[in-house]
């Protein structure tokens, strides 16, 4: 089989033969008995055969060149379906489409057979996937390290409007065709036990960990295919297995189930992804997942380092380890433990290496998301690591004492160990103290990290805090998901933009061109139709593509304020029924969101939106002006059809609380106009597209802080604003839950009596005004066309290729390696 690239040719006959071979030998189907899923699996396997060869070759060439690389450690990689995207990167989309057609198949249908590998919760995991794509596209040597969860993020369905969660067995029974197991890379990981002192041969007293149990890490590689080049990087996912499947003594005693107990327990470690986004749950099994992930990954990094003939002293020269949030922080004491206990380095020598290897990305300021682990839990599960954390803190406290002599207040604030009834380890503090670079994920967020979260650290370690604004891969989020727009863009500015997104600015000069405007709007209309067909087929709701498609797709969280959107919908409902002179352009409000299973208010909001949808979608009095659609089971593949169909992008978090957002970038890239607060990357989107091409509303960060300090009084807004009052009061009636008044009142109560912690009521009036502006401007299609074209044209900055270059230049200092 040949591979992609300029000089080599794709051999259609060989490829077809490979597909048929896999159909028979791997999936036990004949062309006559095979269903669409089997064909998809066989096509996936035939393609994976090509990419696995390239992956091994890339590994070999990078090892031979012995260059510096980055290791991206993340508990989540929300990669989405691989087949379509990899075909684009391999440059084989058309060829494979033609090949499968000769087999009597349709490629688009086959791609629909792939289940999304949902190995992440939301933005943080999706960012990691975009970053891997951009590393491979630009050939910056990298390995992604994650976990091979048996169950990804739950599938969501609705029963009577309520969210129901179902486990997500993303690999199916047949396994995922793109992954390959690498038994030779297996690792053994210790847990629990004690620390002992011993005297080594030189007579030195040493410490070492004696774990009480071990588990095995099995490596699975997924190929990250470089766009338009020959590099394929591994996304290495660790699966936990029990080393001894049977306790033979118990087995022989007839205790068959008990004999397999160890296996059941070890299997649990990577059984399921924790379904929390921006929220720390503090469960023991989660700490076990984190340590298992870190231990396997650090050991694999060292294996590669030594296999290339390097010395331990050169580790920081050749490897950087990026911690995606604090979730992999335990890698820091793990590396220190290995350097000191196994490689016999003194503390200072070990620290000199370790503190130059790690860098940390902060993704949130929300206190409930900043991880803290109980000291006793760490001491129990990882006793040697706890000793090392104490030592790091002890030395750090000496530094603090030097800088602020006698200031116990500052010591208490900065200490890695939080004092209290139960002492806790603050993982973010451990990260800032132990890494050479810390970054926020958007300009505003990074400023707030410096100003509000870590001001003293910034004084202590000048230059350590950076900003790297997030980005999204243009390959998946334009070229693959929006073929209509891709064709139009190609025609105007050529075909290099997927690797050089800044070139999109070349479209700006067509923003006023009537012919181009018409074609751009026609593409949008086609995309709206594609999504409307999906909704009709899957939800039985008919949508009018002349309506404004207004989209809010993201995790359900109070700070993201889906309930502000809901209140606006209720206000429109109220006005349509009660204000005879009120008119509006037809609008479809589209939601998609999963709520963490234990997050009651988030689930109440989903229920309320579903109930309002039931009513408004069938109320003839509204004359079809208002529709609400809550698309179930939000996932990457759904985003791929919603985003190209969006006219309006809702980015309405309370200012200061959304670190960046990346959906905002994808939607703007695909020509949706943002209605948003001055939060996260919205601020930079506004800078790029211009104030006239975005709808900004709401309190600014400092106004939010001031209002909170002074005491936010929700009733003040309630009494002063009759539209707000009418909208909120609808939640107390049985208008949307006939015969059951009060079923939606938890939301109203939270906003009025619960203090409205996210200032929904404070921003309501301004939000309504911004929507009125949208309504007016949409009616003037030429104006709207200009604005939407300019959004696509002016957001080139938000390519994840640029984010990766920022990391490479300012933090990782890598050189690209072109694979031959």
**Residue numbers of the site for ligand RUG (CB under 6 A)?**
122-124, 127, 277-278, 325, 363-364, 369, 441, 470, 658-662, 680
- Known catalytic residue at 413: no
- Residue nearer to ligand RUG on the CB measure, 236 or 279: 279
- Distance separating alpha carbons of residues 440 and 811, to the nearest angstrom: 13
To the nearest whole angstrom, how small is the minimum distance from the Cβ of residue 675 to ligand RUG?
A: 17
Is residue 492 packed enough to be buried (19+ CB in 10 Å), middle (13-18) or exposed (0-12)?
A: middle
- Residue nearer to ligand RUG on the CB measure, 364 or 799: 364
To the nearest whole angstrom, how small is the minimum distance from the Cβ of residue 472 to ligand RUG?
A: 10
- Distance separating alpha carbons of residues 91 and 85, to the nearest angstrom: 10
To the nearest whole angstrom, how small is the minimum distance from the Cβ of residue 264 to ligand RUG?
A: 29
| Tokens representing residue 182 in the block | 């690498």
- Residue nearer to ligand RUG on the CB measure, 277 or 375: 277
Q: Tell me the longest C-alpha to C-alpha distance in the chain.
A: 92
To the nearest whole angstrom, how small is the minimum distance from the Cβ of residue 438 to ligand RUG?
A: 14
Kindly report the backbone phi and psi dihedral angles of residue 374, in degrees, each rounded to the nearest multiple of 5, phi listed first.
Answer: -70, 135
Instruction: Please tell me which residue in 662, 674, 737, 788 is annotated as part of the active site.
Output: 662
To the nearest whole angstrom, how small is the minimum distance from the Cβ of residue 658 to ligand RUG?
A: 5
Helices (H), 328-453: 331-337, 347-357, 375-381, 383-403, 408-414, 427-434, 443-448
**CA-based nearest residue to 629, from 755, 509, 538:** 538
- Residue nearer to ligand RUG on the CB measure, 351 or 807: 807
- Residue nearer to ligand RUG on the CB measure, 485 or 657: 657
**CA-based nearest residue to 249, from 265, 261, 264:** 261
- Residue nearer to ligand RUG on the CB measure, 305 or 635: 635
Q: Give how far Cα 690 sits from Cα of 467, 573, 786, 794, Å.
A: 22, 32, 12, 9
Buried b vs exposed e over 674-697: b needs ≥16 C-beta within 10 Å?
A: bbbbbbbbbbbbbebbeeebbbbb
Instruction: Please tell me which residue in 476, 627, 666, 802 is annotated as part of the active site.
Output: 666
Instruction: Please tell me which residue in 279, 384, 555, 557 is annotated as part of the active site.
Output: 555
Contact indicator for 69, 142 with CB cutoff of 8 Å: yes
- Distance separating alpha carbons of residues 132 and 800, to the nearest angstrom: 9
- Known catalytic residue at 662: yes
- Distance separating alpha carbons of residues 83 and 499, to the nearest angstrom: 19
- Distance separating alpha carbons of residues 67 and 814, to the nearest angstrom: 8
To the nearest whole angstrom, how small is the minimum distance from the Cβ of residue 23 to ligand RUG?
A: 39
In the 8-state DSSP scheme, what is residue 272?
Answer: B
Task: Evaluate the CA torsion angle 533, 539, 545, 551 in order and state its sign.
Answer: negative
The residues, ordered by sequence, that sit 6+ positions from 674 with a Cβ below 8 Å of its Cβ are 648, 649, 651, 664, 667, 668, 682, 685, 686, 694, 695, 791
Kindly report the backbone phi and psi dihedral angles of residue 562, in degrees, each rounded to the nearest multiple of 5, phi listed first.
Answer: -60, -25
3-state DSSP call for residue 42? helix
- Known catalytic residue at 792: no
To the nearest whole angstrom, how small is the minimum distance from the Cβ of residue 558 to ligand RUG?
A: 13
- Distance separating alpha carbons of residues 355 and 69, to the nearest angstrom: 16
To the nearest whole angstrom, how small is the minimum distance from the Cβ of residue 818 to ligand RUG?
A: 29
- Residue nearer to ligand RUG on the CB measure, 446 or 617: 446
Contact indicator for 153, 168 with CB cutoff of 8 Å: yes
To the nearest whole angstrom, how small is the minimum distance from the Cβ of residue 442 to ligand RUG?
A: 7
- Residue nearer to ligand RUG on the CB measure, 69 or 364: 364
- Residue nearer to ligand RUG on the CB measure, 278 or 329: 278
Instruction: Please tell me which residue in 554, 561, 574, 797 is annotated as part of the active site.
Output: 554
To the nearest whole angstrom, how small is the minimum distance from the Cβ of residue 641 to ligand RUG?
A: 21
To the nearest whole angstrom, how small is the minimum distance from the Cβ of residue 800 to ligand RUG?
A: 11
To the nearest whole angstrom, how small is the minimum distance from the Cβ of residue 532 to ligand RUG?
A: 29
- Distance separating alpha carbons of residues 666 and 470, to the nearest angstrom: 11
To the nearest whole angstrom, how small is the minimum distance from the Cβ of residue 403 to ligand RUG?
A: 29
- Known catalytic residue at 25: no
- Residue nearer to ligand RUG on the CB measure, 340 or 683: 683
- Distance separating alpha carbons of residues 729 and 744, to the nearest angstrom: 10
Instruction: Please tell me which residue in 148, 230, 363, 568 is annotated as part of the active site.
Output: 363
- Distance separating alpha carbons of residues 697 and 651, to the nearest angstrom: 10
| Tokens representing residue 688 in the block | 């790029």
User: Helix count (H) and strand count (E) of the chain?
Assistant: 34, 22
- Distance separating alpha carbons of residues 108 and 110, to the nearest angstrom: 5
- Known catalytic residue at 581: no
Report DSSP letters for 596-622, one per residue.
-TT-HHHHHHHHHHHHHHHHHTT-GGG
- Known catalytic residue at 311: no
Buried b vs exposed e over 388-425: b needs ≥16 C-beta within 10 Å?
A: bbbebbeebeeebeeebeeeeeeeeebbbbbeeeeebb
- Residue nearer to ligand RUG on the CB measure, 131 or 396: 131
Nearest residue relative to ligand RUG (C-beta): 123
Instruction: Please tell me which residue in 466, 560, 561, 712 is annotated as part of the active site.
Output: 560
End-to-end C-alpha distance for the chain, whole angstroms: 17
- Residue nearer to ligand RUG on the CB measure, 137 or 442: 442
| Tokens representing residue 643 in the block | 């985003």
Contact indicator for 114, 204 with CB cutoff of 8 Å: no
- Residue nearer to ligand RUG on the CB measure, 441 or 689: 441
- Distance separating alpha carbons of residues 595 and 275, to the nearest angstrom: 9
β-pairing, 465-467 with 437-440?
A: parallel
β-pairing, 162-168 with 152-159?
A: antiparallel
**CA-based nearest residue to 106, from 114, 97, 115:** 97
Active site (catalytic) residues:
363, 554-555, 560, 662, 666
């Amino acid at each position: 089989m040949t591979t992609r690239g300029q000089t080599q040719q794709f051999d259609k006959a060989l490829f077809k033969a490979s597909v048929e071979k896999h159909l028979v030998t791997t999936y036990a189907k004949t062309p006559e008995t095979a269903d669409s899923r089997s064909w998809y699996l066989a096509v996936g396997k035939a393609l994976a055969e090509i990419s696995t060869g390239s992956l091994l070759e890339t590994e070999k060439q990078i090892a031979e060149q012995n260059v510096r690389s980055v290791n991206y450690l993340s508990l989540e990689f929300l990669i989405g379906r691989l087949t379509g995207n990899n075909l684009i990167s391999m440059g084989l989309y058309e060829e494979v489409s033609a090949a499968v057609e000769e087999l009597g198949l349709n490629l688009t249908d086959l791609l629909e057979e792939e289940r999304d590998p949902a190995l992440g919760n939301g933005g943080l995991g999706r960012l990691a996937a975009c970053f891997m794509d951009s590393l491979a596209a630009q050939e910056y040597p990298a390995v992604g390290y994650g976990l091979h969860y048996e169950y990804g993020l739950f599938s969501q369905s609705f029963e009577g409007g309520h969210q129901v969660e179902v486990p997500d067995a993303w690999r199916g029974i047949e396994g995922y065709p793109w992954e390959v197991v690498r038994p030779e890379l297996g690792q053994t990981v210790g847990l629990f036990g004690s620390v002992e002192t011993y005297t080594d041969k030189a007579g030195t007293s040493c410490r070492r960990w004696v774990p009480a149990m071990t588990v095995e890490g099995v490596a699975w590689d997924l190929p990250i295919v470089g766009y338009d080049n020959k590099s394929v990087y591994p996304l290495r996912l660790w699966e936990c297995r029990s080393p001894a499947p049977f306790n033979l003594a118990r087995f022989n005693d007839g205790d068959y189930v008990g004999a397999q107990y160890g296996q059941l327990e070890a299997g649990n470690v990577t059984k399921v992804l924790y379904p929390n986004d921006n929220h720390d749950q503090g469960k023991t099994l989660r700490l076990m997942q984190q340590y298992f992930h870190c231990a396997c990954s650090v050991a694999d990094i060292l294996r590669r380092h030594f296999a290339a003939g390097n010395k331990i002293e050169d580790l920081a020269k050749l490897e950087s380890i990026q911690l995606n949030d604090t979730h992999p922080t335990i890698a820091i004491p793990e590396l220190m433990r290995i350097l000191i206990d196994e490689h016999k380095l003194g503390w200072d020598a070990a620290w000199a290496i370790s503190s130059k290897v790690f860098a940390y990305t902060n993704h949130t300021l929300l206190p409930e998301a900043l991880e803290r682990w109980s000291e006793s839990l760490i001491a129990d599960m990882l006793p040697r690591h706890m000793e090392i954390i104490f030592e790091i803190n002890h030395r750090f406290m000496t530094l603090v004492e030097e800088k602020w002599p006698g200031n116990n207040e500052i010591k208490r604030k900065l200490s890695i160990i939080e004092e209290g009834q139960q002492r806790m380890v603050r993982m973010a503090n451990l990260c800032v103290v132990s890494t050479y670079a810390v970054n926020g994920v958007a300009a505003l967020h990074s400023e707030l990290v410096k100003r509000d979260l870590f001001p003293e650290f910034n004084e202590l370690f000048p230059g350590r805090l950076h900003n790297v604004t997030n980005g999204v891969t243009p390959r998946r989020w334009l070229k693959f998901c929006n073929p209509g727009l891709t064709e139009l863009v190609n025609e105007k500015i050529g075909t290099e933009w997927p690797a050089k997104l800044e070139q999109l600015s070349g479209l700006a000069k067509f923003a006023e061109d009537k012919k181009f405007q018409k074609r751009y709007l026609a593409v949008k209309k086609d995309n709206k139709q594609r999504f409307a067909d999906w909704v009709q087929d899957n939800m039985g709701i008919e949508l009018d593509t002349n309506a404004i498609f207004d989209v809010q797709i993201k995790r359900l969280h109070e700070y993201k304020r889906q309930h502000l959107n809901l209140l606006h919908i209720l206000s429109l409902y109220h006005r349509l029924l009660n204000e005879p002179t009120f008119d509006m352009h037809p609008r479809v409000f589209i939601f998609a969101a999963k709520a963490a299973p234990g997050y009651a208010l988030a689930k109440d909001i989903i229920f309320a939106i579903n109930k309002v949808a039931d009513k408004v979608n069938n109320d003839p009095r509204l004359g079809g002006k208002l529709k609400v659609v809550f698309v179930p089971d939000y996932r990457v593949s759904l985003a791929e059809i919603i985003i190209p169909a969006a006219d309006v992008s809702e980015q309405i978090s309370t200012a200061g609380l959304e670190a960046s957002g990346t959906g905002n970038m994808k939607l703007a890239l695909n020509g949706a106009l943002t209605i948003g607060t001055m939060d996260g990357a919205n601020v930079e989107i506004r800078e790029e597209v211009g104030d006239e091409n975005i709808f900004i509303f709401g309190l600014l960060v400092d106004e939010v802080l001031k209002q909170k300090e002074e005491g936010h009084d929700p009733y003040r807004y309630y009494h002063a604003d009759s539209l707000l009052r009418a909208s909120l009061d609808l939640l107390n009636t049985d208008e949307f839950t006939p015969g059951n008044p009060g079923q939606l009142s938890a939301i109203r109560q939270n906003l009025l009596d619960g203090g409205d912690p996210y200032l929904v009521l404070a921003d309501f009036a301004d939000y309504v005004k911004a929507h009125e502006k949208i309504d007016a401007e949409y009616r003037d299609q030429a104006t709207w066309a200009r604005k939407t074209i300019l959004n696509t044209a002016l957001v080139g900055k938000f390519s994840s290729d640029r984010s990766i270059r920022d990391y490479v230049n300012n933090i990782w200092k890598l050189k690209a390696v072109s694979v031959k």
